[in-house]
Structure 1
Amino acid sequence: MKLNNEKFIATLDFNKYLESKGWYLKSVLNDIVGIWRSSRYPDSEILQPIDINLMDFSRRAEVLLSVLSETQDKKINEIVDEINEISNDIIRIRVIHNDVDNGTIPFNDGVELFVKAKELLVSAARSVVKVQKGFYGGKSPEIVTNYFDSLKLSQTEIGSYILKVASPIYQQDEDQSDHCDVPFGRIVSSRIIHSVLKLEKAVESFKKTNNHIHFEQVIGDGVGASLCSAIVGLSGQRRNRTVEISIQPSPYASDENLKSRVVTVPANDIPIIEHARDYYLNNYSAMNYELSGKVTKLDRDRDIDPDNGVITITETISGSKSKTRKVEVVLNDKMYDEAIKAHEKSEVMHFIGTLIVSGRKVRLSNIQKVTINSKIL
Structure 2
Amino acid sequence: MNAVTDEEFQQAGEVTPDSVMRYLRGSGWSVSRDLGSGQLWELRADEGRPYQVLVPVRPQVRDYAARISDLLETLSAVEARRPGDVLREMFLPSADWQFLRLTPPGPSGTAPLVDVVPALAGLRDLMTAAAASSVAPVPQPVQPAQKPQQVKEYVSRVRLDQTRVGSYVVAAHTPLSTPVHAGEPFERSVTRRLYASVLCAREAAAASVAADELQDFLGYTGVGLSANLCEALVKISGEQRNGFSLAFAWSPDIPVGQKTAPIPLARPHLEVLEAAARDLRARAGRTDVALQGTVVRLRRELPYGPGEITVSALTEEWQRPRRVRVHLAEPEYERAAEAHRLGHEVVIQGDVRVSGTAVRMESVTSFMTVPVDD
Q: Shorter-normalised TM-score: what interval?
A: 0.5 to 0.7
> How many angstroms apart in 1 are the aligned matches of 2:198 and 2:242?
16
| 2:146 corresponds to 1:137 | yes
TM-score by length of 2: 0.54
- After superposition, give the CA deviation of every residue in 1:329-363 in whole Å (9 maximum; x if it has no partner): xxxxxxxxxxxxxxxxxxxxxxxxxxxxxxx99xx
1:141 maps to a residue whose letter is Q
Matches within 5 A, 1:216-365: 216-238=218-240, 240-249=241-250, 254-256=255-257, 258-265=259-266, 266-276=269-279, 278-279=281-282, 283-287=316-320, 297=333, 299-301=336-338, 306-307=342-343, 317-319=354-356, 325-326=360-361
Question: Could you tell me which residue of structure 2 aligns to residue 345 of structure 1?
Answer: none
Deviations 1:182-234 (A, max 9, x none): 4444433332221122234455677869889x343333322224312311211
2:90 is matched with which residue: 71, 83, 92?
83
Matched letter for residue 20 of structure 1: V
TM-score (norm 1): 0.53
Contact kept, 8 Å, 1:136 with 1:226, in 2: the verdict is no
Per-residue deviation, residues 26-79 of structure 1 (Å, max 9, x unmatched): xxxxxxxxxx74488xxx9846xxxxxxxxxxxxxxx57987534445388757
3-state SS of 1:137 partner: coil
Aligned partner letter, 1:175: T
Q: CA contact under 8 A between 1:231 and 1:243: conserved in structure 2?
A: no
Query: In 1, are the aligned partners of 2:285 and 2:353 still within 8 Å (CA)?
Result: no
Residues 281, 84 of structure 1: CA spacing in aligned structure 2 closer, same or farther, 3 A cutoff?
A: farther
**In structure 1, what is the Cα distance between the partners aligned to 2:343 and 2:272?**
42
Distance 1:225 1:245, change over 3 A: same
Contact 2:38 2:57 in 1 (8 A): no
How far the C-alpha of 1:93 sits from its partner, in A, is 1.8
Change in Cα spacing, 1:254 to 1:267, as seen in structure 2 (3 Å) is: same
Question: The residue matched to 2:149 in structure 1 has which SS?
Answer: coil
How many angstroms apart in 1 are the aligned matches of 2:201 and 2:247?
15
Counterpart residue type for residue 65 of structure 2: S
Between the aligned partners of 1:311 and 1:205, the Cα distance in structure 2 is: 40
Query: Is 1:74 aligned with 2:70?
Result: yes
**Displacement after TM superposition at 1:307 (Å):** 4.3
RMSD value, Cα: 5.3
| 1:119 equivalent in alignment to 2:125 | yes
Partner of 1:175: 178
Shift of 1:237: 2.6
8 Å Cα contact 1:193-1:261 kept in structure 2: no
Q: Specify the SS of the correspondent of 1:92.
A: strand
Question: CA separation in 2, counterparts of 1:138 and 1:217?
Answer: 23
Q: Distance in 1 between matches of 2:24 and 2:111?
A: 41
Structure 1: 5+ residue stretches without partners: 25-35, 48-62, 328-359, 362-377
Distance 1:165 1:117 in 2: 11
d(CA) in 1 for partners of 2:196, 2:21:
26
* Aligned residues with identical type, % of pairs: 15
Structure 1 residues 263 and 251, CA, compared in 2 at 3 Å: closer, same or farther? farther
Look up the match of 1:155. 163
The 2-side partners of 1:224 and 1:93 are apart by 20
User: By how many angstroms is 1:236 displaced?
Assistant: 1.0
**Residues matched between the structures, number:** 283
Change (3 A) 1:259 1:209: same
